[in-house]
């Protein structure tokens, strides 16, 4: 926990890293909001090991002598006055005229974040899709693609998506397993008033909790319909004991959070609104993306891609052949949380491919 400036906690910390000619780490903050849900992440050394509290140490060693952050600066950041403030750190190249390697710049970024007390591993998530209707093909799951896109944009890495039937024991087992393995868990489906809505009971069972009536939710139901809820509606007011209830915009039913498990409805439109109401909780260092549309076949460029990954081992590189496209044959995606590293890898890729092989770059 990053506790607050003279009794208060920091509010609205925004981290933007630009690792080009120099690495500029800009932290802007104002008092009032807590930091527990901020997850700045380094761009170095791949993925975090699965499991909360079992993150891989990404960069060994301390802060480099040149361009290092002074203890006084760190103290100033953590113990600044209550007024809004900005603190800038600039770590310059190792020498003028010789660009520091992308790995070296990333190492400096990671060391800075560690020195400030932030995690350097990308936070992880698991998504649990619940419902017989998904497994039978009656309904197509659109919730997991949405969550994957939103979470990646926020800097959270989804490591697993699992679809399971409406079964209390099975749901409870998978909820507990994902909760132990990932920083965040998202369940969708199974929280309505009917016989096959079992998610709340299962989440309670996963953590050995009693399921109790929430007077707050019952009152919300009554206010929404101007009459007392019936027995079926009261089922939706039954939640695991100790659940955190977070208002979801103009929706009467709150987001229910149990430990690191976020319980969402299966109806996509409701899920989107509910997630939007709490998305700031998951904000970290986002993944940046470049897309290259290539006219050549995948087999023609495979050697260039292999060479690129040898030069840029931390690059997240995707190659996707496209059938039926007239203008290009392969879509290449390059991703990193380090803007400088990403641009360097893109430049290297374009240099490896013939000019007439590129349809466009986005």
DSSP string computed for 183-201? SEEEEES--SSSTT--HHH
Question: What's the mean pLDDT when you consider all of the chain?
Answer: 74
Q: Quote the pLDDT of residue 232.
A: 87
Pick the CATH number of 124-282 from 3.10.580.10, 3.40.50.880, 1.10.10.10, 3.40.980.10: 3.40.980.10
Q: Which two tokens stand for residue 207?
A: 């953590």
Chain-centroid distance, C-alpha 288:
13
Q: Tell me whether strands 124-130 and 85-91 are parallel, antiparallel or unpaired.
A: unpaired
Higher pLDDT, 276 or 51: 276
> Quick one: pLDDT at residue 92?
29
352 C-beta neighbours (distance < 10 Å), count = 15
What does the alpha-carbon distance between residue 202 and residue 214 come to, in Å, rounded to a whole number?
A: 17
pLDDT confidence tier of residue 337, bands split at 50, 70 and 90: confident
Q: Is there a contact between 102 and 20 (Cβ–Cβ < 8 Å)?
A: no
Range(s) within the chain of domains with CATH label 3.40.980.10: 124-282
Which strands make up the sheet holding 23-31, listed edge to edge?
10-19, 23-31, 85-91
Q: Quote the strand ranges of 165-301, DSSP E.
A: 184-188, 211-213, 238-240, 244-248, 251-258, 261-264, 288-294
Structure tokens at 307: 């060479």
d(CA 3, CA 85): 17
- What is d(CA 131, CA 199) in angstroms, rounded to the nearest whole number? 10
Q: Taking the complete model, does pTM exceed 0.75, yes or no? A: no
**Residue 164: is it exposed, middle or buried by C-beta count within 10 angstroms (0-12/13-18/19+)?**
buried
Considering the chain, tell me which residue range(s) the CATH 3.30.70.1130 domain(s) occupy: 288-361
Best mean pLDDT range from 2-16, 54-68, 311-325: 311-325
CA distance 347 to 56: 29
CATH of 288-361, one of 3.30.70.1130, 3.30.70.270, 3.40.50.300, 3.40.1480.10: 3.30.70.1130
pLDDT tens-digit series, residues 191-226: 988 888 899 999 999 999 999 998 888 888 888 888
Which of 143, 118, 137, 121 is closest to 54 using CA atoms? 121
Q: pLDDT per residue over 104-146, tens digit each?
A: 555 555 554 455 444 556 899 999 999 999 999 999 999 999 9
> Which residue would you say has higher pLDDT here, 360 or 79?
360
Partners of residue 291 on adjacent β-strands: 333
pLDDT classification of 286: cutoffs 50, 70, 90 = confident
- In the predicted structure, residue 360 carries a pLDDT above the cut 70: yes
User: End-to-end alpha-carbon separation of the chain, Å?
Assistant: 39
């Amino acid at each position: 926990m990053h506790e607050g400036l003279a009794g208060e906690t920091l509010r609205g910390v925004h981290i933007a890293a630009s690792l080009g000619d120099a690495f500029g780490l800009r932290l802007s903050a104002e008092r009032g909001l807590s930091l527990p849900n901020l997850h700045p992440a380094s761009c170095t050394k791949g993925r975090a090991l699965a499991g909360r509290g079992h993150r891989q140490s990404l960069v060994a060693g301390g802060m480099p002598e040149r361009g290092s952050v002074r203890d006084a600066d760190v103290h100033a950041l953590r113990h600044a006055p209550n007024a809004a403030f900005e603190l800038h750190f600039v770590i310059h190249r190792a020498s003028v005229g010789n660009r520091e390697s992308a790995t070296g710049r990333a190492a400096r970024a990671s060391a800075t974040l560690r020195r400030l007390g932030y995690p350097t591993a990308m936070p992880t998530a698991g998504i649990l899709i619940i419902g017989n209707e998904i497994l039978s093909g009656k309904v197509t799951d659109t919730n997991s693609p949405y969550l994957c896109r939103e979470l990646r944009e926020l800097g959270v890495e989804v490591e697993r998506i699992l679809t399971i039937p409406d079964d209390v024991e099975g749901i409870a087992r998978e909820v507990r397993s994902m909760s132990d393995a990932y920083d965040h868990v998202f369940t969708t489906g199974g929280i309505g008033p009917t016989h096959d809505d079992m998610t709340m009971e299962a989440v309670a069972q996963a953590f050995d909790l009693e399921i109790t009536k929430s007077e707050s939710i019952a009152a919300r139901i009554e206010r929404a319909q101007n009459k007392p809820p019936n027995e079926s509606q009261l089922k939706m007011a039954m939640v695991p004991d100790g659940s955190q209830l977070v208002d979801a915009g103009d929706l009467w039913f709150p987001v229910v959070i149990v430990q690191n498990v976020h319980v969402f409805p299966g109806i996509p439109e409701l899920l989107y609104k509910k997630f939007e109401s709490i998305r700031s909780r998951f904000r970290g260092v986002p993944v940046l993306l470049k897309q290259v549309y290539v006219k050549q076949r995948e087999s023609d460029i495979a050697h260039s891609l292999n060479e690129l990954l040898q030069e840029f081992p931390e690059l997240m590189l995707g190659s996707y052949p496209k059938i039926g496209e007239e203008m290009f044959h392969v879509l290449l995606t390059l991703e990193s949380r380090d803007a400088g590293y990403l641009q360097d890898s893109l430049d290297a890729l374009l240099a490896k491919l013939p000019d007439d092989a590129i349809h466009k770059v986005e």
